[in-house]
Amino acid sequence: MSPAYRGLVVGLLAIVTCSAFEAMAVTTAMPVVAADLGGERAYGLAFSLFLTASLAATAAAGPWCDRAGPRPSLLVGLVLMTGGLLLAGGAWDFGVFTVGRMVSGAGTGFMIVPLYVIIGQALPSALQPVLFSWFSAAWVLPSLVGPYISGLLAQHASWRWVFFGVAPIVIVAVVLIWPRVRGLGAPEETSLAPGEGRRRALLGVLLAAGVAAAQWAAQSWADPAARAAVPAPVLGAVVLCGIAAVLATAPRLMPRGVARVARGLPAVMVVRGLLTLAFFGAEAFIPLMLVDAYGLEPSVAGLALTGGALGWTIGSFVQARGWLAKPTFLVLGSVVLTAGLGSIAGVVSVAAAPWLLALGWLLAGCGMGLATTTTSVLVLDLSEAADRGRNSASLQMADMLGGVMGTAGAGTLYSLLLTPEAVPGPGVFALLAAALTMSAFLSAFAGVRSAAPSAVTAAAAGEDLA
C-alpha cells in the first residue's frame, strides 16, 4: 500500500475497531455496571437507547455528508462518541450511565457513515474491496478478545475503564485520518431536497422506537411472568404498532424499490438485511445450543463463535481477490451461509458430534465474509457521488435492522418453544436454525438482482447481438 494512504487506512481501521469493541465488549461489563449503579430494572435501556440514538444519527448523517461532505459529521461524531464514553465511564447512577450510552450511540452513527464517504472519495476503487475486508477483520478482532478484555477490566480493575480506555483511541484515530479528510468537501451536485436531513432523522427515531417496542412486547408475550403483569391484548397491540412503525419508516429510509427488491441498490440492501438477520439470530444461540443440547461448559461453547469469526475473515479476504463478479460473490456468500446454517439444523436434530456444529458455524461465517463485504463495495459502486452518504447510511440501517430482527425473532421463538418442565432439547434448536436458514436462502435470490439495471440490459443486448 502506498505510504500516502497508510495513515488514513490505520485511522479508519482504528475507528471501526473501537466501534466494534464498544458494541460487543460492553455486554460483558453490563451486569457489573447494573449491580454497581443499581440499574437492574432499567438494564435493557442501556442497549435500546444506544440503538435508538445510533439509528437516528445514521439516518441524519447520510444526507448531511451528501450536502456538506464527511468532515462535519465526523467531527460531531467524535465529540458525541468521546463525550458519551466519558459520561458513561464517570456515571454516578444508572440514569446518567444510560444518557452516556445514548450520546455515544449517536456519536457512533455520525462517525460510521462518513467513513464510507471518505473511502469512496479518498481511496482508489482497486483498494476499496481490500479495505472493506480489513474492516471485517477489525470487527472480528473485538468479537474474539473484546468480551474477555472487558470482563478482565470489570473484574480486576473497574468497569469504568471499558469506556474510559476507548475514548483516547478514537481521538488519535481521527487525528490520523484528518490530513487526508481535510481536503474532502461536498459533491459538486446534490440530489437532496430541503429538510431531507431532519426528515430522515425523525424517521430514524420512529424506526428505532418501533423496533424497541415490538421487541419488548414480543419477549414479554413469551414470558408467563410478564404476561401476568401486562394484559395480553396490550402486548399484542404494542407488537402490531411497533411492526407498523417499522414497515412505515424503513422503506422511506432506503433506496426506492426496496419493497419489491428492485435491481441494483434496493436488492443490495435487502441482501444485507437478510444476511444479518440469519447470522446474528443464530449467533446468539450457538453457545446455548452447545451448553443445553450437548452439555458443554460455557467456556468451551464460546469457542465455537471464534470459528465463525475466523470464517468471516477468510471469506472477506477471498472476495477482496476479485476472482468473481460482485453480484456472484453475493449469491455465493448467501449459498454458503445457507449451507452452514442448514448443516447446523441437521447436526442438532440428530444430536451429531458438536465439532460438526462448529464446522457448520465456520462455514456460515465464511458465507458472511464473502457476501457482506461485497455489499459495502457494491453500495459505493452503484452510488453517484452525491448519494454516497445517504446510501451508506441506508446500508448501515439495513445491517442494524437485520441483526435486531434476527436476535429478537429468534429469542421470541425460543421462548415460545420452551416448556417449563424440561431443559430445551435438540428439536428446539433445530427449529431455530431451520427458521434462520430460510432468511439466508432468500438472500441468495435477492443477490441475483443486485447487478445494476444498466449492466443487466447491456448483458442482454450482448446476447442478442451474439
* DSSP output for 367-432: HHHHHHHHHHHHHHHHS-GGGHHHHHHHHHHHHHHHHHHHHHHHHHHHHHH--TTS---HHHHHHH
Domain match, 160 and 222 both: no
Let me know if residue 189 belongs to a domain: no
Whole-model pTM: value is: 0.72
Domain match, 349 and 435 both: yes
CB atoms within 10 A of CB 162: 28
The pLDDT value given to residue 86 = 93
Domain match, 244 and 311 both: no
Domain match, 142 and 212 both: no
Domain match, 351 and 459 both: yes
How far is it, in rounded angstroms, from Cα 360 to Cα 429?
Answer: 14
Which one of 162, 184, 206 terminates a domain? 184
The pLDDT value given to residue 1 = 56
Domain match, 231 and 305 both: no
Local structure of residue 93 (DSSP, 8 states): S
Rounded to a whole number of angstroms, the distance between the first and last alpha carbons of the chain is: 41
The pLDDT value given to residue 461 = 38
The parent domain of residue 162 ranges over: 1-184
Let me know if residue 190 belongs to a domain: no
User: Rounded to 10 degrees, what is the CA torsion of 331, 336, 337, 342?
Assistant: 130
Domain match, 30 and 179 both: yes
Let me know if residue 453 belongs to a domain: yes
Domain match, 34 and 93 both: yes
Nearest to 35 by CA among 173, 159, 189, 175: 159
The CATH number of the domain holding residue 168 is: 1.20.1250.20
Which one of 146, 161, 184 terminates a domain? 184
The pLDDT value given to residue 268 = 92
Which one of 165, 184, 203 terminates a domain? 184
The pLDDT value given to residue 442 = 93
Domain match, 31 and 93 both: yes
The pLDDT value given to residue 309 = 78
Domain match, 58 and 86 both: yes
- pLDDT tens series, the chain, 466 aa: 566 677 788 888 888 887 777 766 566 566 677 778 887 666 666 766 777 788 778 878 877 887 778 888 888 998 999 999 999 989 988 889 989 988 988 898 898 888 878 887 777 777 777 777 777 777 766 666 655 565 566 556 777 887 888 888 888 888 888 877 776 666 655 555 666 667 777 887 788 788 778 877 876 776 666 677 788 788 888 889 988 988 888 888 888 888 888 888 899 999 999 998 899 888 877 777 777 777 776 556 666 777 887 888 888 888 877 788 888 899 999 999 999 999 988 888 877 787 888 899 999 999 998 998 888 888 888 877 767 777 877 888 888 788 777 877 777 777 777 655 555 667 778 888 888 999 999 999 988 888 766 544 444 434 343 4
Let me know if residue 127 belongs to a domain: yes
Domain match, 412 and 458 both: yes
Let me know if residue 97 belongs to a domain: yes
Domains in the chain: how many in total?
Answer: 3
The pLDDT value given to residue 388 = 72
Domain match, 136 and 91 both: yes
Let me know if residue 2 belongs to a domain: yes
